[in-house]
């Protein structure tokens, strides 16, 4: 029997949904097979792969000149809505407000032209005044360089001019972004390249100590944008209803597949509750969802104020989402994960088993609770650490470190000491 006749027979017997699922599964299987046959990508240039055991800095840094500093900030080209870049740029803004000169050095594995990224930066982070240059064209003329990810840490360690203070602003334990293998090892070695490691939140410090036996030089607090995310009090606002989820389909540590299955189960428990998605637009779900796409912060705060709960999944450091939800009076429902559970100790946060049934049950309990509006006000009224505290902590540390004469032997850098 021909393929067409088989398909027609099954359509008559089972309907179009099972057939569509089978076709989609086979197409996905073929795509996975093709992906597996392709060579894995390297997120840094081959010449920028450093080895902590043999890396030698040209000279130890001297005390920075008095007055303002020239600080270079090394990052990958940002995309609109990138939480990691937003947090990193907050540190840049603080240093600019303190009178220091800042330059963004973009590290792109494929292109040295930064012009196409400048419009994105200036449009979505308008408070930044920093100039934009390519990291691969040279990073001279600075007193300090700050890396923002493990590939940029390797690039900074290898490309930095002599006599420059080197820092690594660590927002997550990035070896966990990869399966155990070469990229995992490169990410792990980025903490041993002699940069001064600055951890955002205590979770990273605990993981570093547990995994590599070496903690960061300092920890700065994990903040929240309490100026943007807050409780709104419009007189005609309808009561809260529904749940919200930030979809990142290609970032496995953010648990997209787990969230999809959990929300489908939640819908069977509470079909009256609308499910709002923002970030990536999704299709093909078996339940109705409302796609909002990428939202600017002010509109996102409105969505948080309209809904009861938010699903916030992360298998590494927590994202910005839980704190933003809480500031808006929304209840974050999160997956239990090693280390991260100890970072957010807010009594209003809900932790659940990292299973579809566990998260669905937790969401159902939150939306079924009495006095939802009163609870939202009580949650939003709690005092929370603002990003201003984080910014000040990092800026003070950077200024102090650059002003201090480094007495260590340069060879100490090989053991993970400060440069």
Any domain includes 200: yes
Residue 70's CB: how many other CB atoms inside 10 A? Answer: 15
Rounded Cα distance, 54 and 324, in Å: 43
Any domain includes 292: yes
Tell me the pLDDT of the chain averaged across its residues. Answer: 88
172 and 101 co-located in one domain: yes
Comparison of pLDDT for 414 and 24, the residue scoring more:
24
182 and 57 co-located in one domain: yes
Any domain includes 34: no
pTM over 0.85: no
pLDDT at residue 18 in the model:
63
pLDDT band at 229 (very low <50, low <70, confident <90, very high): very high
254 and 135 co-located in one domain: no
Tens of pLDDT, residue by residue over 180-203, are 999 999 999 999 999 999 999 988
Residue 279, classed as helix, strand or coil, is strand
192 and 212 co-located in one domain: yes
63 and 171 co-located in one domain: yes
Axis-axis angle for helices 182-189, 150-159 (nearest 10) = 60
User: Mean pLDDT, to the nearest integer, of 303-320?
Assistant: 94
90 and 216 co-located in one domain: yes
pLDDT at residue 80 in the model:
86
pLDDT at residue 67 in the model:
77
Residue 212 belongs to domain spanning: 46-223+388-415
Question: Under a CB-based contact definition with an 8 Å cutoff, are residues 246 and 320 in contact?
Answer: no
Q: Comparing 16-30, 84-98, 146-160, which segment has the lowest mean pLDDT?
A: 16-30
pLDDT at residue 21 in the model:
64
pLDDT at residue 408 in the model:
43
pLDDT at residue 318 in the model:
86
Comparison of pLDDT for 308 and 384, the residue scoring more:
308
340 and 254 co-located in one domain: yes
pLDDT at residue 345 in the model:
75
User: Mean pLDDT, to the nearest integer, of 170-180?
Assistant: 95
Percentage of residues of the chain with pLDDT beyond 70: 83
Any domain includes 146: yes
pLDDT at residue 341 in the model:
59
DSSP annotation of 308 reads: S
395 and 335 co-located in one domain: no
pLDDT at residue 347 in the model:
87
Any domain includes 303: yes
DSSP annotation of 92 reads: H
The residues with which 75 forms a beta bridge, in sequence order, are 106
Rounded Cα distance, 250 and 253, in Å: 9
342 and 259 co-located in one domain: yes
197 and 55 co-located in one domain: yes
Tens of pLDDT, residue by residue over 139-160, are 999 999 999 999 999 999 999 9
Any domain includes 27: no
Q: Comparing 50-64, 195-209, 254-268, which segment has the lowest mean pLDDT?
A: 50-64
Axis-axis angle for helices 3-14, 16-37 (nearest 10) = 130
pLDDT at residue 4 in the model:
65
Any domain includes 21: no
Any domain includes 214: yes
**N residues, the chain:** 419
Q: Which long-range contacts (CB under 8 A, 24 or more apart) does 47-51 make?
A: 47/158, 48/151, 48/154, 48/155, 48/158, 48/159, 49/154, 49/186, 50/154, 50/157, 50/158, 50/189, 50/193, 51/189
Tens of pLDDT, residue by residue over 327-383, are 999 999 999 877 665 567 788 999 999 999 999 999 999 999 999 999 999 999 998
Rounded Cα distance, 412 and 397, in Å: 21
Is the torsion defined by CA of 415, 417, 418, 419 positive or negative? negative
pLDDT at residue 406 in the model:
43
70 and 194 co-located in one domain: yes
pLDDT band at 262 (very low <50, low <70, confident <90, very high): very high
Task: Specify the number of domains making up the chain.
Answer: 2
214 and 341 co-located in one domain: no
Q: Tell me, what CATH number does 259's domain have?
A: 3.40.50.2000
């Amino acid at each position: 029997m021909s393929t067409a006749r088989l398909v027609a027979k099954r359509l008559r017997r089972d309907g179009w949904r099972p057939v569509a699922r089978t076709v989609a599964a086979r197409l996905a299987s073929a795509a996975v097979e093709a992906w597996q046959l392709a060579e894995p990508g390297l997120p840094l240039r081959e010449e920028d792969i450093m080895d902590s055991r043999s890396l030698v800095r040209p000279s130890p840094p001297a005390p920075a000149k008095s007055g303002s500093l020239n600080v270079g900030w090394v990052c990958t080209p940002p995309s609109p809505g990138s939480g990691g870049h937003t947090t990193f740029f907050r540190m840049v803004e603080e240093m600019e407000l303190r009178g220091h000169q800042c330059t963004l050095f973009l590290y792109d594995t494929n292109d040295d032209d930064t012009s196409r990224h400048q419009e994105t930066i200036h449009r979505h982070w308008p408070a930044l005044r920093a100039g934009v240059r390519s990291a691969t064209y040279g990073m001279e003329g600075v007193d300090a360089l700050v890396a923002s990810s493990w590939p940029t840490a390797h690039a900074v360690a290898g490309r930095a001019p002599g006599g420059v203070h080197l820092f690594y602003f660590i927002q997550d334990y990035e070896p966990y972004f990869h399966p155990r293998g070469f990229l995992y090892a490169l990410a792990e070695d980025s903490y041993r390249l002699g940069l001064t490691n600055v951890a955002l939140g205590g979770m990273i410090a605990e993981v570093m100590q547990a995994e590599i036996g070496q903690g960061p030089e300092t920890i700065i607090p994990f903040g929240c944008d309490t100026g943007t995310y807050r409780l709104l009090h419009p007189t005609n606002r309808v009561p809260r209803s529904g749940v919200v989820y930030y979809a990142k389909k290609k970032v496995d540590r953010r648990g997209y597949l787990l969230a999809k299955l959990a929300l489908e189960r939640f819908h069977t428990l509470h079909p009256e509750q609308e499910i709002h998605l923002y970030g990536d637009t999704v299709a093909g779900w078996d339940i109705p969802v409302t796609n909002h796409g990428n939202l600017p912060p002010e509109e996102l705060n409105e969505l948080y104020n309209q809904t009861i709960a938010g699903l916030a999944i992360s298998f590494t450091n927590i994202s910005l989402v839980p704190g933003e939800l809480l500031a808006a009076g929304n209840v974050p429902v999160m997956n239990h994960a090693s280390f991260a559970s100890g970072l957010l100790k807010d009594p209003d946060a809900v932790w659940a088993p990292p299973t579809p049934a566990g998260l669905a049950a937790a969401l159902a309990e939150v939306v079924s609770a009495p006095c939802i509006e009163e609870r939202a006000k009580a949650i939003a009224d709690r005092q929370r650490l603002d990003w201003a505290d984080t910014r000040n902590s990092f800026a003070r540390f950077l200024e102090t470190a650059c002003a201090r004469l480094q007495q260590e032997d340069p060879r100490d850098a090989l053991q993970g000491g400060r440069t």
